[in-house]
Structure 1
């Protein structure tokens, strides 16, 4: 049984003009200790899917269908108190901006001790000992002294290390990291991702990494899910998806990486933009931006076909795999 099994998840936002579907029948699994990447542009539905797992959807957002089974329990059926025993305890989340996560008026130590005591019946002294140990694990120098620091006294990279330490406090089975390095410079990004990878391996923690950067995904994850307009368009082993992408959208994301362009030339880009939720095209949602579009692409939503464990939602998948598409 997978650690996490998301099946046919639908997330909706009712509005006065009708119900908008942000996540449309998305399915994926995460095994114990496995690292899964969820990739796509802004508006693809990555973060909404993650928030649905932890029941953190902002109103009027709601789960409109499907199931989210974690450690044998369907999280969509838990009440608020039962969900508190999972959120921040068995499943931790790391958000984009640590300054939005950390309380600016409380010391790092106070926040870490309070987090532990909210989920465990332990003394202040034991909670402090665990907190200092976790700060040391994330390579924060002089962790005993940093316990007395306030968030604004730390650099962006140090704040994100603190957030990672907090995520590990309760020894969770799964961590969801929502673009955890977006606000950091490139060298610090690499350090943070390397640290997260090492910690997940050391603790045997499952990881869902949400990002728009396939280069990061290729270095950290074992499997990847590519989302477009709320639907899965390609999924499989990370190495296979990155080295042999099939869906035109995945190909476009990879071609847009800086290393794929000609030095001195403009970067490659996918023409157009992600459709808004109230204007998702009929058929394949990607067809207005696709270089391989045919009339049948506009007719109906393609199925997610399986090619020996590599699943692709494209009516021209066979042609693209064979290199015969034009």
Structure 2
């Protein structure tokens, strides 16, 4: 049995007399210690999927269909009180901006001790000992002194290390990281992702990494799930998907990476933009931006199909594979 199993998840946002759908039939699993990357542009539905797992959807957003099974229990049906025993305890989350996560008027130590005591019946002394140990584990120098620091006294990278330490305080089974390095500069990003990878391996923690950065996903995750307009359009082993993308959207994301371009040349880009929730095209939602679009794509929604562990929701998988083979042959 998978540690986490999401089945046919749908999320809606009622808006006046109409209802906007943010997720359509999303399915995925996460095993203990496994690292899954969820990739896509802004508006693809990545964060909505993560917030649905933790029951953190902004009102009036709601789970309209599907199940979220954690250790075999459907947590989408839990009350707020029951969910609080899981959130921050068995399932932790790391948000984009640590300054929005940490309380600016409380010391790091106060926040960590309060977090621990909210989920465990322990003394202040024991909570302090665990907190210092976690700060030391995320490579924060002089952790005993940092317990008395306020968030604004730390650098961005240090603040994010503190947030990771807080996420690990209760020895969770799963960490959901929503764009955890977006607010950091490039050199610090690499350090934080390397740290997260090492910690997840050491603690056998499952990781759901939400990002738009395929380069980060390729270094950290074992499986990848590509989302577009609220649907999963491709999924499979990370290296398999990156080396042999079967969906035109995934191919476009990979082609847009700087390392895929000739130095000094104009970067590749996917034309157009992600559709808004109230303007999803008929048929395949990617059809206005797709180089392989046909009349069939304008009227029909493709299912997620494939061989083995690699699946894609595209009618043109074979055509795209032949096109890529011709490109490789032409470049050799």
Distance, in Å, in 1 between the alignment partners of 2:7 and 2:321 is 27
Q: Which is worse superposed, 168-177 or 78-87?
A: 78-87
Stretch moving more, 91-100 or 301-310: 301-310
2:10 corresponds to 1:7? no
- Could you tell me how far apart the structure 2 residues matched to 1:304 and 1:139 are? 42
- Counterpart in the other structure of 2:76: 76
8 Å contact kept, 1:99–1:159: yes
State the alpha-carbon separation in 2 of the partners of residues 19 and 300 from structure 1. 22
Describe the SS at the equivalent of 2:86: coil
The residue aligned with 1:262 is 262
Q: Distance in 2 between matches of 1:25 and 1:273?
A: 22
1:276 aligns with 2:281: no
Q: Counterpart of 1:303 in 2: which secondary structure?
A: coil
C-alpha distance after superposition, 1:279-319 (max 9, x if no partner)? 00000000000011110001111111122221000001122
Alignment of 1:16-31 (within 5 A): 16-31=16-31
> Which residue pairs with 1:52 in the alignment?
52
Moved over 6 A (4+): none
Alignment deviations for residues 154-192 of structure 1 (CA, whole Å, 9 cap, x no partner) = 000000000000000000000000000001011100000
Structure-1 residue corresponding to 2:308: 308
Structure 1 segment 219-258 matched on structure 2, within 5 A: 219-258=219-258
In structure 2, distance between residues paired with 1:78 and 1:59: 17
Whether contact under 8 Å (1:37, 1:217) holds in the other structure is yes
Report what 1:191 is aligned to: 191
- State the alpha-carbon separation in 2 of the partners of residues 238 and 266 from structure 1: 27
RMSD: 1.1
Q: Separation in 1 of the partners of 2:230 and 2:200?
A: 28
Question: Which position in structure 2 is the counterpart of 1:98?
Answer: 98
Deviation digits for residues 59-83 of structure 1, max 9, x if unmatched? 1100010000001110111111111
Give, in angstroms, the shift of residue 34 of structure 1. Answer: 0.1
**What residue in structure 2 maps to residue 133 of structure 1?**
133
Conserved? CA contact 1:319–1:325, under 8 Å: no
1:112 paired residue number: 112
In 2, Cα distance between the equivalents of 1:294 and 1:148?
Answer: 62
Distance between the aligned counterparts of 1:61 and 1:16, measured in 2? 13
Tell me the secondary structure at the aligned position of residue 284 of structure 2: coil
- Give the distance between the partners of 1:325 and 1:201, measured in 2 at CA: 36
- Quick one: distance in 2 between partners of 1:17 and 1:58? 18
Name 1:201's counterpart in structure 2: 201
TM-superposition CA deviations, 1:184-236 (whole Å, max 9, x none): 01110000000000000000000000000111000000000000000000000
Match of 1:153? 153
Q: Report the more deviating stretch, 60-69 or 297-306.
A: 297-306
Distance 1:182 1:308 in 2: 33
Looking at structure 1, the residues matched to 6 and 324 of structure 2 have their Cα atoms a distance apart, in angstroms, of: 34
**Runs of at least 5 residues in structure 1 that lack an aligned partner in the other structure:** none
TM-score, normalisation: structure 1? 0.99
1:10 partner SS: strand
Corresponding position: 1:64 with 2:64 = yes
* Length, aligned pairs only: 326
Name the structure 1 match of 2:218.
218
Measure the CA separation in 2 of the matches of 1:236 and 1:293.
Answer: 23
| TM-score, scaled to structure 2 | 0.97
Contact 2:12 2:23 in 1 (8 A): yes
Secondary structure at the aligned position of 2:158 is classed as helix
